[in-house]
Amino acid sequence: MAHHAMLLIVVLGVLSITTPGTTHPLDPLSAAEITAVRTAVLASPLVPARPLHFHYVGLDEPDKPDVLAYAYGAAGSSSHALPPRRAFVIARAGGQSHELRVDVTNASSPSVLSHAVHRGAGFPTITLEEQFAAQALAPAYPPFAESMRTRGLLVEDVICSVLPVGWFGGAGARRVAKLQCFVAGATANYYARPIEGVTMVVDLDRLAIVGFRDRVAYPVPKAEGTEYRAGKAGPALAGPAPAPGVVVQPEGRGFDIDGHVVRWANWEFHVGYDVRAGAVISLASVHDEDAGLRRRVLYRGFVSEIFVPYMDLSEEWYYRTFLDAGEFDLGLWAYPLQPGADCPANAAYLDSYNVDQDGNPVKVRNMMCVFERYAGDVAWRHTESGFPSQLITEVRSDVSLVVRMVVSAGNYDYILDWEFKTSGSIKFVVSLTGILEMKATSYTHADEITVDAHGTLVSENTLAIYHDHYVTYYLDLDIDGTNNSFVKNIIITTRRNTGNPTTGGADTPRRSYWTVRREVAETEADGKVDVDAVPAPTCCS
């Protein structure tokens, strides 16, 4: 029997936070507001075509001055009135992408304020309903069924994924996706058993297969050794397990959640939600005890995109340049967190709402968690031994507050943390886990590979393709107010000529040093930083 480490935190139960009504201008849309949006859009004569599918419904964020006036009070104003509540909608109908703004200040009488047809490049995100419908097309498609039969595979063991086609120049006339299929059968890890060489193209508006090619056949990797479920994969750790640990909070949690506003130690901030971005942190400020005021730090921040391009040029792989937020919606893949596993036992949980293809609210419980982290780290310390016969040691332990969301985007799982520290700093951490996306191959041993295989052979007939994960953040920082600048500090190395000192005083033997050049960026282009992407050499193979 495997022995697993146990972390026990003594608290009073599991706390789940729900918001009965809108109390803040940045609160996500409530179920009643989402229903009002649906009613207004379906009743509007501006979009008469049917069927009409909702691809995005989210808060149409109020103007920043209005939010700041609410949060901090405008000069000469004593009221903190809520700005009008509006929603932004992207819907697909009649082969067109529609953008609407809907007033839901009074949810009982919503109204469409504006409407436009998007005529530029790009299409709305792929809904869950579209993905399930597209996946169901494959088994009933005769050419695909025949390809499976010739490979000796059972169609009922096959699972297909809907993949965006990427963008390689030009304007796409059709909203299409591609199907990549796998064999499940004896394992839940079907990503480890791809059916290589078969490509299907699906028209998402018509929900019909409009392209098919069976180019090449490689052996399907075996199922043995691919299972990851507890009880089927064996012990998670080999050898002795760490000793159990206990963390005690005898006075309970040290933070408070009022609606979507979190208060902890010297911090106060708003936790919002958007289906595309997931967790949204706004109006973060710290209390300065010496100055007797709240000091602004962050107006708004969220994950703006996760870009994952794969480095294989073959027909089945070249288009895999995923935009997890823009093509799939990060929040759509944020499934309920597991108490005591995804988050520690002292966590509180936040629920939220997504919107289905028909525009109805769908509640997701435990979508985010908030908890205090006691990791045994040091926030600040110093030992002073300069005094004769005296040793002074000052140590302050590090306790932080974490807001966590986990996104299971297909085969990968991203653990996205916002960590608030009592020093006034904010740290965001991305942890990547899950399953590799793999390619079937005829290779069974690394010695057989004599050309660029675009990946690493991780098992018989299984290549893990080279790829990148670029996680970008939107950050609107308000450090002590809105009058901020973006400053680049650039290290410059300098050599000094003999007999021509660059500093006052006599010449010295020192000839080289580095200094810092400070540049204030006036535009986003000025703020670009040239990052050397050349990888460091590895020592071993």
Active site residues: 324, 412
Of the candidates 200, 145, 178, 190, the residue with the CA atom closest to the CA atom of residue 462: 190
Q: What ranges in 9-63 are assigned the alpha helix state H?
A: 31-43
> How far apart (Å, rounded) are the C-alpha atoms in residues 533 and 9?
42
Q: What is the DSSP letter of 229?
A: S
**Cis status of the peptide bond prior to 142, with omega within 30 of 0:** no
Contacts 24+ apart (CB under 8 A), 361-367: 361/31, 361/34, 361/35, 363/31, 364/334, 364/335, 364/336, 365/16, 365/336, 366/16, 366/336, 366/337, 366/338, 366/339, 367/273, 367/331, 367/334, 367/336, 367/337, 367/405
Contacts 24+ apart (CB under 8 A), 3-8: 3/240, 3/241, 4/236, 4/237, 4/241, 5/241, 5/242, 5/243, 5/244, 5/245, 6/244, 6/245, 7/244, 7/245, 7/246, 7/247, 7/344, 7/345, 8/244, 8/245, 8/246, 8/247, 8/345
Give how far Cα 498 sits from Cα of 286, 318, 393, 494, Å.
51, 57, 45, 13
Length reported for the chain: 541
Q: What is the DSSP letter of 239?
A: S
> How far apart (Å, rounded) are the C-alpha atoms in residues 264 and 256?
7
> How far apart (Å, rounded) are the C-alpha atoms in residues 103 and 125?
23
> How far apart (Å, rounded) are the C-alpha atoms in residues 139 and 434?
27
> How far apart (Å, rounded) are the C-alpha atoms in residues 309 and 311?
7
Helix, coil or strand: residue 139: coil
Q: Which residues pair with 456 in a beta bridge?
A: 464
> How far apart (Å, rounded) are the C-alpha atoms in residues 193 and 317?
15
Q: Are 379 and 394 contacting, i.e. CB atoms less than 8 angstroms apart? A: no
Q: Are 125 and 330 contacting, i.e. CB atoms less than 8 angstroms apart? A: no
Residue 484's CB: how many other CB atoms inside 10 A? 13
Angle at 432 between CA 371 and CA 451, to 5 degrees: 175
Helix, coil or strand: residue 510: coil
